Amino acid sequence: MIARSVFRYTASGSEGLMTDNYRVLYLQSSGSIYTNNDRYAPLEFSNFYLKALFENIMGFDHYFIARSQGTDLQDANQAAIIKRASQEINTILPQLYQNN
């Protein structure tokens, strides 16, 4: 986060300078699951924070997230978790590397 390189200050607030079709892929791993819209969902703030930072502050055009979740839950199927995360990444990669 370098002012005047990644963003600049204006009279109406900060303005992102990373607007030339920049993209970011955030890979997240967690021992629990925070995306089930249950009591743990409010604890999943890192994705919202980083998405706002990259898109709203720096001006990135595309933000993607892929997750590997539930790795420490009782009876967690590690192979299935990794396979699901790998499939999610493979779905995102074509969008991440698009030329337009």
Block mean pLDDT (10 aa), the chain, length 100: 90 91 94 91 92 95 95 92 95 88
Which pTM value belongs to this model? 0.83
pLDDT attached to residue 100: 62
Token pair listed for 6: 């990644």
Helix, strand or coil for residue 50?
helix
pLDDT attached to residue 3: 87
The stretches of the chain forming alpha helices (DSSP H) are 46-52, 78-96
Q: Where are the domains of the chain?
A: 19-96
Name the β-bridge partners of 69: 30
Q: What is the CA radius of gyration of the chain?
A: 16
Domain 19-96 -> CATH class: alpha beta
